[in-house]
Amino acid sequence: MPVCAIVGAGEGLGSALATKFAKENFDIALLSRTEAGSSAAFKAALEVAGDQSTAHCFQADAHNPESIERALSHVATTIGPIEVLIYNVRDQFTRCEPLDMSYDALEEQFRLEVIGALAAAKSVVPAMRREGFGSVFFSSATAAFRGSENYPYYAIGKFGLRALSQSLSKAYARDGVHFVHVRLDCDLDVPMMRELYGDQHDQSNLANPHDVAQSYWLTHLQPRSAWSNEIELRPHTEVWTY
């Protein structure tokens, strides 16, 4: 069975991605810091998995690139070659002015968004190049396109992630590996956002994570003569922010 590995498989988009690829008969490998972190995605994937496919949890910390490499190596040796990698991690939205950023916090953000993503790519891309196919997705945001006076950590991290995605694509797409930077210009209809919006919650103004996961799947299916390396997603009601 083909394998889809998801780094950062929480209860929102991560769970929806696990569900979608499990429905398409992929074995699912879920990577998170704790087993509890991917429990919702694990249960969701098992509920829809066919007779042949299954789901597995692996422990890895996106702040620690060596743990990402170890976990993905373990996935490949115990389940099988990874055909789809989805790097879907996100830190807290820390609010501050740019000159108030601390060196340590900025370094941690860079490790999460860029170094962790690079470690994931290093773990799967060589095999994908040898096989001549594979897809690597980086879940991102409009912050990758613009700086921020209030959330500079987030913007700097996403800028770096987009640059990494483009660099990998320019270097290795010719070998058959599809790299995709997914820019989510919206809020997702996930438990955290429902709690945040409270009485103001309106499904029509939020992106359904299962619809977003469908877009990842359709992008994976694109013919290599017409690949998207950058896609943006938003609900039809969204006021564009870029």
In CATH, the architecture of 3-233 is 3-Layer(aba) Sandwich (3.40)
Q: For the segment 164-192, what is each residue's pLDDT rounded down to a tens digit?
A: 999 999 999 999 999 999 998 867 766 66
Instruction: Tell me the HSE value of 1 on the side-chain side, using a 13 A CA sphere.
Output: 22
- Residue 61's alpha-carbon distances to 49, 55, 68, 179, in angstroms, are 26, 19, 7, 22
Domain limits of the chain?
3-233
Q: Mean pLDDT in the chain?
A: 90
Instruction: Tell me the HSE value of 93 on the side-chain side, using a 13 A CA sphere.
Output: 8
Q: Look at the chain and count its residues.
A: 242
For β-strands 55-59 and 177-184, DSSP reports them as unpaired
Over 70: is that where the pLDDT of 5 sits? yes
**Alpha-carbon span 128 to 57, nearest angstrom:** 22
- Residue 220's alpha-carbon distances to 90, 150, 199, in angstroms, are 22, 34, 37
Query: What's the whole-model pTM score?
Result: 0.93
- Considering only residues 130 and 192, tell me which one the structure prediction assigns the higher pLDDT: 130
Is 38 in contact with 15 (CB distance < 8 Å)? no
Lowest-confidence pick of 68-72, 109-113, 135-139, 193-197: 193-197
Task: Give pLDDT, residue 44.
Answer: 82
Over 80: is that where the pLDDT of 24 sits? yes
Over 70: is that where the pLDDT of 195 sits? no
**Alpha-carbon span 232 to 150, nearest angstrom:** 23
- Considering only residues 39 and 122, tell me which one the structure prediction assigns the higher pLDDT: 122
Name the residue among 120, 209, 109 with its Cα closest to residue 159: 109
